[in-house]
Amino acid sequence: MPAMMSAFQQYTRTLPDAVWASLTMLGHGSVLLALVVLAWKYRPDWILACVCGGIVTGAFSNILKNLIGGPRPAAVMPADQLHVIGSQLLNHSFPSGHTATAFLFAGIVLMSRRPPPLAAVAVLSLAILTGLSRIAVGAHWPIDTIAGAAGGWFSAAVGIAFANRLRWLDTAHARLAIALLILGSSISLFFISTGYPLALPVQYFCACLGVIVAGQWGLKEWSRLR
């Protein structure tokens, strides 16, 4: 596994560290919500499924990290053989939570009703790049990202099923609550440390985007309830 890791990083180091750090941010839950909220006018079903599936993804990642976990590459490989971008992580390697989060949304888009072809290709490509970025930044072994992708895809199917069955999620009250949830999550991006300072421009951009769009959505739902 260390040999595979080193071989893979020989190729990923051809791109600037900031590129990989920015791509890995796409697997952060708050960043994902800030981007997903852009669909509120056209595909609110994606957002509902993402919230439902996110609970499954979180449980999947945390349970397996505590049951299996294992050392991360930085805890096993010599420093001169591993290129680390951002904070050095040592424990709870399996599975990759960032990859699971990215594939959660990709799965939701691809498994939803009549997904726009360009959107489907874009989100799947970004999910794959997010998984690769976890290896590129030295945070995960390849097997971790494969497991994360599988978990995210499964969570997407569960999220869609729940969103379709729980009709109360499609009420104005529920949409307002989700808009406020995403608003608060986006605001938190201004203050939390993700461990990737090179990706701060992406982090702050997504925070602004989420605050503006979620705020707009929340005001519209609030006006419906008055």
Q: Domain for residue 1, yes or no?
A: no
Confidence of residue 224 (pLDDT cuts 50, 70, 90): confident
Indicate whether 5 belongs to any domain.
no
Q: Is 219 part of a structural domain of the chain? A: yes
Q: What is the pLDDT of residue 226?
A: 76
Strand, helix or coil for residue 179: helix
pLDDT at 150: 98
**Whether the predicted pLDDT of 207 surpasses 80:** yes
- Residue 2 falls inside a structural domain: no
pLDDT at 24 (0 to 100): 98
pLDDT of 94 over the 80 cut: yes
| Mean pLDDT, range 195-207, rounded to an integer | 97
Flag whether pLDDT at 128 surpasses 90. Answer: yes
Range of the domain at 138: 17-80+92-225
Q: How confident is the model at residue 222, as a pLDDT?
A: 93
Q: Provide the whole-model pTM.
A: 0.94
CATH number of the domain enclosing 107: 1.20.144
Model pLDDT for residues 40-78, shown as the tens digit of each residue: 988 988 999 999 999 999 999 999 999 998 999 999 999
pLDDT at 83: 95
Answer whether 36's CB lies under 8 Å from 46's CB: yes
Residues 6+ apart with CB under 8 A from 21: 85, 86, 133, 137, 196, 197, 198, 199
Q: In Å, what is the CA distance from 187 to each residue of 181, 204, 225?
A: 10, 9, 24
Owner of token pair 């449980």 = 59
Asked if residue 3 belongs to a domain, the reply is no
* pLDDT at 4 (0 to 100): 87
- Assess if residue 137 is contained within a domain: yes
List, for residues 138-195, the tens digit of each pLDDT value.
999 999 999 999 999 999 999 999 888 877 767 888 899 999 999 999 999 999 999 9
Q: How many domains does the chain have?
A: 1
Does 10 reside within a domain? no
Distance (Å, rounded) from C-alpha 182 to C-alpha 212?
Answer: 11
Angle at 169 between CA 163 and CA 175, to 5 degrees: 120
